[in-house]
């Protein structure tokens, strides 16, 4: 089963994990890595590696990251560049996480799941009233 690591500035990742538990219940092979204000990039890299090391399986890992270009993403990018089967998607939100959880039951690779997650991320941004949605 593809591992999932939620990665964010501050507590966003943990909050997403907690919210997803409310919707789908506890999930296996999921971890969080959060950048605290007092951490440097190297400290965060260690925390990120510890999250990956805590997964049951890590051949295929999907990193769901809050923001492209920040320290969490930059450190995830380093890891993704070191391992085949590891993929990162930014824009972490609850619909994306729910899709990632459900797609793990039918898809075998992080790349396959990443495509579905990114598609949901794009489709999930909507406006009400709908006539404002261009």
Task: Parse the chain into domains and list their residue ranges.
Answer: 3-132
CATH classification (class only), 3-132: alpha beta
* Cα→Cα distances 66→12, 45, 69, 121, 126, Å: 8, 16, 10, 12, 19
pTM of the model: 0.94
Cis peptide before 129 (omega within 30 of 0): yes
Work out the end-to-end distance of the chain between its first and last CA atoms, rounded to an integer number of angstroms: 38
Contact present, 87 and 111 (Cβ < 8 Å)? yes
* Tokens matching residue 125: 């941004």
- pLDDT, one tens digit for every residue, the chain (134 residues): 999 999 999 999 999 999 999 999 999 999 999 999 999 999 999 999 999 999 998 899 999 999 999 999 999 999 998 899 999 999 999 999 999 999 999 999 999 999 999 999 998 888 999 889 87
Residue 28 CB: number of other CB atoms within 10 A?
12
């Amino acid at each position: 089963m593809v591992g999932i690591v939620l990665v964010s500035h501050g507590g966003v990742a943990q909050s997403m994990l907690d919210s997803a538990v409310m919707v789908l219940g506890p999930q296996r092979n999921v971890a969080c890595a959060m950048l605290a204000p007092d951490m440097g990039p190297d400290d965060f890299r260690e925390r990120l590696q510890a999250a990956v090391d805590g997964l049951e399986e890590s051949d295929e890992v999907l990193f769901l990251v809050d923001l492209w270009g920040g320290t969490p993403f930059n450190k995830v990018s380093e890891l993704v560049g070191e391992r085949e089967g590891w993929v990162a998607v930014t824009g972490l939100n609850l619909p994306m996480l729910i899709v990632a959880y459900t797609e793990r039951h039918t898809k075998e690779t992080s790349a396959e799941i990443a495509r579905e997650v990114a598609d949901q991320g794009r489709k999930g941004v909507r406006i009400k009233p709908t006539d404002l949605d261009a």
